[in-house]
Amino acid sequence: MKKSDLEKRISKILNEEETFTLSLILLAHMHNDEKYKNLCELIFLFDNYSGFKQFIKFYEGQTIEVPTLKELKQSLRLLELFQKVKIDKKDFNECYEDLKLNSLDLSKTYCQQELDKFTEYLQNNSAITLKQLKKLSKK
């Protein structure tokens, strides 16, 4: 049986998404490698099959480390602190307390260092300036 014949027979039985999902299951079992074990579940996190295919094309062969929810919360709060302190020009200590950053295990020293690093990064690597950010926040 030719490969094209096999593909035709499979496509009569399964749609493209089902075939792709089964191939991911097979991939995980063929290689018996931990890095492939959750691929099948990952496809269901996307709204559509083509979004998953784009994800694979973009990240193919790379290892991706997914942040914890706590790390994501910390990052979002630091961004909010940046907004309040660097753009809205509010008091750092007051904002630190209001945002309850201590409850996320973020010290004042660490937060100040991160704000300084992010500000420097924006100034050196970004086409957008702090003045432009201030204008955006007023809209």
- Report the run of H or E that residue 103 belongs to, with start and end: none
Distance CA 119, CA 74 (A): 17
Confidence of residue 11 (pLDDT cuts 50, 70, 90): low
Residue 128, pLDDT score: 62
pLDDT above 60 (res 2)? no
76 against 11, higher pLDDT: 76
Mean pLDDT over each residue of the chain, to the nearest integer: 80
Average pLDDT of 61-85?
91
Tens of pLDDT, residues 111-135: 999 999 988 888 787 666 656 666 6
Residue 1, pLDDT score: 47
CB 70 within 8 A of CB 78: no
Average pLDDT of 48-57?
82
31 against 70, higher pLDDT: 70
Domain ranges of the chain: 3-59, 69-138
Instruction: Give the C-alpha distances (Å, rounded to integers) separating 78 from 19, 69, 84, 96, 104.
Output: 43, 14, 10, 9, 10
Distance CA 114, CA 91 (A): 16
Contacts with 63 (C-beta within 8 Å, 6 or more apart), sequence order? 35
pLDDT above 70 (res 70)? yes
CB 42 within 8 A of CB 53: no
pLDDT above 90 (res 53)? no
Residue 79, pLDDT score: 92
Query: Dihedral of the CA atoms 30, 58, 118, 137 (nearest 10)?
Result: -130
Confidence of residue 78 (pLDDT cuts 50, 70, 90): very high
CB 35 within 8 A of CB 63: yes
